Structure formats: structure tokens, C-alpha cells
Chains A and B, each alone.
Chain A
Amino acid sequence: MLSCKEASRLVSQSQDRRLGWRERMALRLHLAVCDACREFSRQMAWLRQALRHFALRAEQDETVRLPSEAAERIRRALHGHD
């Protein structure tokens, strides 16, 4: 039987690689009997989704703009290049 520590590692790694047959079985068995790790596993899937939403929002957030002094510095650098 996996410990919760081992199970949590496998949950995380399952997002990064395909687990082996033995690992999948062991994890499934653990999750079947452990509420804490089942909750953890749900949260890991959710966290990935949350990060993607977060990135989309951040890229589209028009209140975040290149500061005007920074824009001025860049403009000068570009002119030096022209």
C-alpha cells in the first residue's frame, strides 16, 4: 500500500508523464480508500485549469500596460537601431 506521500507524488507525476501499469494500479487502490489524497488529486487537476485561466486573463488584462517610462526607453533603443 502506498503512503499518502508516495501517492501525492504519483498524482503530480501523472500530470507530467504516463505512469506505469503498476503505479497506476497502486495509485487507484490508494485513492479508493483515502479521502485526503482523492481531494488532493481533484485539486491538482483543478490547479492546472486555474493556471490556464489565470494566464489568459493576465494576457488580456488591458489595465496592465507597458509603463510610459519603459516605453520611452524602448523607443530610444529602437531609434538607435533604425
Chain B
Amino acid sequence: MTHISGDALLVEHGDYLYRYALLRLRDPHLAEDAVQETLLAALSAKNGQGFAAKSAVRTWLTGILKHKIIDHFRRAQREAPLPDGEFSDGDLPPGMDDFFLEDGHWTEPPSSLGNPAALLEQQQFWGVLQTCLDRLPKALARIFLLREIEEKENEEICKELEVSTTNAWVMLYRARMGLRKCLEMNWLGDRNAEL
């Protein structure tokens, strides 16, 4: 049986695990902590010792990291929960809110993003998306990323984050509305300025 060394794991997988954690935690220090906890857990676990293939080790480590990230999300959700039910003011930055008039009509109807498939080909677009994700309130970003990136089922997310289903729907709705608006403002704004 081969003994895995912490150094070897760090060299082989450190960068990948860091990127994985950073994408979800959106904070370099939190990501570093998560990588460290993951490797520590890996070293004290017995079940990773037998893996020969690098990809198997990576999958195993990523599995551990996922749990560390969820643990962090749950703690954060406990410490700074969003109010239950319908929340309105203050949970989205100015300009990313006030979507509807009193009568339920759009304040500003969504403008066309152009050719959406082509957008995904443009390097600059990813920077804008990154910025917009960073502008989302953390609680909204957490649940939204779990839903969209991890493709987790709603019930699973609710259990993991300890939020009610209804509250999850509202949070996901707010996240999508805010993100869409931010993309519209920053992407279309930039593009129009260039024209």
C-alpha cells in the first residue's frame, strides 16, 4: 500500500482544489482554509490510500472539499440568515432592485441581450458575470451557486442550508433577477458605449 504524502497532494491537486473552492466561496482566505481542511481530512482518512490513478484521487479530494464548502455555507447561513418570507429593500444593491411598478408591470422590460449563445464565446463577458456574481448579496449567491453550479435539487439545498422551500424560491428568484439586471446594465451598457 502506498502512503500518500501531504506535499504530493498539495503539488498535484492544490491549484485545482483552490480554484474549485474559490469559485464557490468567492473569498481567497476561505478558499485557502477549505483546501487545507480538505487535505488534512484526506491525510487522516484511510480510504484514499489505495487510489492509483490521479483522477481518482482528485475526485475523492473534490468530494471532501464539497462537504467542507457546504459546512461553511451552513455556518454562514446560521450566522447571517436572510429574513423569512418576502424580503425587498436592501437585499440587492441599488439599481439591481425595483423591477416592477405598483401594478405589476416591468419598471423596465428586459432588453434583448443580443445573441445569447455568442455572448458565451466572448472573453469579456466572463469578467462581467464574475463582477455581477460578486455584487450579489452573499446569502443569495450561496444558494444560487449551489442550485446552478452543483445542480442540486431544491430539497437537498434547503436541508443543507436549513432554509424553508418557500424561502429558497424567493432567494433564487431574487438572485436571478439581480444577476440578470446587473448583466443587462454592465454588459449592454459597455457594449453600447463602444458603439
Contact = CB atoms under 8 A, between A and B. Distances in A.
Contacts of A3: 100, 103-105
Interface string A43-70: 1101111111111011111101111001
A73 B163 CA distance: 35
Contacts of B190: none
Interface residues of A, number: 48
Given A13-B169, A81-B43, 15 more contacts: A3-B105, A12-B176, A16-B168, A36-B106, A39-B110, A42-B116, A47-B176, A50-B129, A54-B129, A61-B19, A65-B19, A70-B35, A74-B10, A75-B7, A82-B5
A36 B109 contact: yes
Given A3-B103, A59-B20, A43 B14 contact: no
Query: From DSSP, what is the main secondary structure of chain B's interface residues?
Result: helix
Given A13-B169, A71-B14, A55 B149 contact: yes
Interface in B1-42: 5-7, 10, 14-20, 22-23, 28, 32, 35-36, 39-40
Given A3-B104, A52-B148, A66 B169 contact: no
Query: From DSSP, what is the main secondary structure of chain A's interface residues?
Result: helix
A23 interface: no
